[in-house]
Amino acid sequence: MSTTRRAPGQLEADVLAILWRSGEPMSPAQVRDALDHELAYTTVMTILSRLYEKGTVTRRRVGRAYHYQPAFDQAEFAAGRMRALLDQGEDRAAVLARFVGSLSDDDERTLSTLLRRTLRRRA
């Protein structure tokens, strides 16, 4: 068993990635089997329970166990995280300016196109 510590939130991210790839609800045992690391079943259950409490996954009872699936697609989840980080900054304009300044040329063009579309819809 590896003694290397994971970055905070990495196991949750790994579990979510597995659920997104699956495309269908999974039991904790299925999630555990899909993980590359050797983890205790109870550890996987704890992660899934935490994700459920946060509203990140949904669950439904199948027999004696719950089956879990993501509550959001990957894009919606990432957008929510970006909004939460933006909300933490004291100077939203500075945070947005730094973010836009860090984008590749392709991403800047995409963002510009998306903003134009949004403004047209609101007009």
Domain boundaries, the chain: 10-70, 74-122
The CATH code of the domain at 10-70 is: 1.10.10.10
Give the predicted TM-score (pTM) of the model: 0.76
Q: What average pLDDT does the structure give for the chain? A: 91
Per DSSP, the residues of the chain read: ---PPPPTTHHHHHHHHHHHHH-S-B-HHHHHHHSSS---HHHHHHHHHHHHHTTSEEEEEETTEEEEEESS-HHHHHHHHHHHHHHH-S-HHHHHHHHHHTS-HHHHHHHHHHHHHHHHHH-
Q: What average pLDDT does range 71-79 have in this prediction? A: 93
pLDDT tens string 6-49: 777 889 999 999 999 999 999 999 999 999 778 899 999 999 99
Q: Could you report the per-residue pLDDT of 52-62, keeping only the tens digit for each? A: 999 999 999 99
